[in-house]
Structure formats: structure tokens, C-alpha cells
Structure 1
């Protein structure tokens, strides 16, 4: 899931049938190191050290791919974390590619809360890209099963909600929150400049249409 207040990332080691003891030990060792890299990357991302987080997530992913396929849940964890770090660093196209890989795996294999977290991450990315209608659309993909994440990355619940239990941003209407406290925290931390720019552009476009 990789929201900011989660504990250490945990990935179950896997032992493939038919491997020799040495091969099994090598894969388990690589995955164990990958777990350590992922945890360090999450800490670096939380501290705003995005370049370090990107490097560590990539190292973790490379190690995992020795034991798991690119489409595995384990790889999906690293793709999501890598996307978060790339988004923080402003490397939006690369973040888009990482999140797309994470979402494909997470929506197919779950758990549902991880898929919801990645959808909200993509929503934040779309906002940074100025694509607010798409930000709303991807967040609402979980509407039918009550699997929408609070838009505050540091939400203390890290739970999924029904749309009726959430409050949308009154200005852009593209992001949803479980409480006024979460809305305020995200406004201060992330959403304010993006929302204001989007609404100003929309207002200017409407004025041009009216006067034209």
C-alpha cells in the first residue's frame, strides 16, 4: 500500500518448487535484501529525499525480479513505491509508467486496499499533470465496491470508504476526504496550489467562452 503512516513494508519470501537448495537460498536472500531496501526507500520518501527513495525502490525491484515475475504482487509493491517517489521528485511521466504497472497487478490480484491506494496515487499524479477530470475518474473507479481512499496521503485510517462517506473538494470536486481534518492537511501539504491553478484556468476558459 505504501501510504506514509504505514509500518515497514512486508513481502513474504517465496520458495519455488524444483530449485536446488543453493538457488532457493539465493532467492530468499535477494528478497530479504529487497525488503530492507523497500523499507529504507519508504523512510527516505517520507523525509522528502526523493532521489534516494527512487534509487532504493529501483534496487528493491531489481532484486525482487530475480524471484518474482514483473506482474507479481511483490513487484507491484515496488512499482507503487517507485511511483510515489517519482511523483515527489516531479518526474511525472516516469511516475505514470510505474503506477500503471502497479495498478494492473493490484487490481487483478489485490488486496483491494492496495489497488485503492494506487488509484488515489494516480489521482494525485493526474492533478499534478493538470488533468483533474481524469483524477476524479480514476478515484471513482472503486465507487461500486465502496473502495475509495481518502485523498489525504497521511490519513490516519488508511481505510476504504463509500463515496457517500466522503466529502469532495468544493472547488475542483476531483479528490475526496474522510474528514475536514484530512482535507485541511492535504490542502496545506499538496492540493492547494494545484487546485487554485486548475480553478483559475477553468474560470479564464469560461470567461473566454462567454465573451467570445
Structure 2
């Protein structure tokens, strides 16, 4: 598996192209802005884009979806009924074979009601659930506490070397977040 990072500089949102090197199938996680560089990479390397995974329904994480649909034929996976076109709605947790890769998914609400985290191999794509050193915003103290509890049980329980690729900012790891995440340490003191 190869992962290519594309950044939407206007919104500082991360987009990831994940490629199965054996089958040349690809998927995109959070198609923020579809750049010429992303399209060129798919076309020049002759990747077959088979799926788009959305971490949550905030416009800056899926605004490139309309552009992609004009160019490619693929399946959208999301927790939101509208984004998933009522067909590939993800709920709770599970595993799907996408692009020849085992894609684990689990719901982690708190930042948004439809927040999904995807795990492919030893890499987590977290959207706005967790970032390097902090967690995603929430609407009140109850949802923040719920989000912290979910992160602790579903993310921090993974191996320390599990890579976290967030919706914004630099990548991090489970081990780094256990040690340095200010929001999670503050929540533990409550």
C-alpha cells in the first residue's frame, strides 16, 4: 500500500490517495479540493479509482466529490445517507474490502454525529476526530467528554506505532497522542 498526501492550501485540509500497488486500484479519503496534481497522479500512474471515503460531512472534507464524479466512476462510503447516496452507508464498525485492501471503519461521534475513522493496515485516517496534540472541536462539554472516551477506547488502545493521518495538520501516532495530547490529558484529570 502507498499513501499520497494532497493538501488543500486554501482550507488547510488533508486529502489522501491510498493505492493498492498490486492491483493498481485506489481510493481517496476526504476529497477536499481536487487538484491537477491529484488527477495527474491518478492518470499518469494508471490507477483505477474505485472508492471515496468520507470521514464526516463538513464541506471542506468532501467538496471535491462533485468534480471527481465528473471524471471517474466510483463508490462513496460515508456515515451520512446523502453522501453515500443511500447505498454504502457505514454504521457502527466493520470491515470492507475496498481496492483489494481491508478497510476497517468505526464510528466516533463527538466532533460531528457522522464522524468515521478508517484503518488500513497500521494507518488511521481520523478526519477531525483527533489531530497532533489535540482533538476535534465539539459543541459542548458532554460531546467533548464522549469524544475523549471514544478516542481513548478505540484509538489509544491500538499499538503505539499506529500512524494517525488527520483531516488537518501533520500526521502523528497513537504513542505520541498518549503522551502529548493536551485535550486527552486534561480530560483524564476531570
Superposition TM-score, scaled by structure 1 size: 0.36
Q: TM (normalized to structure 2)?
A: 0.38
- Look at both structures and tell me which one has the larger radius of gyration over its CA atoms: 1
More strand per residue: 1 or 2? 2
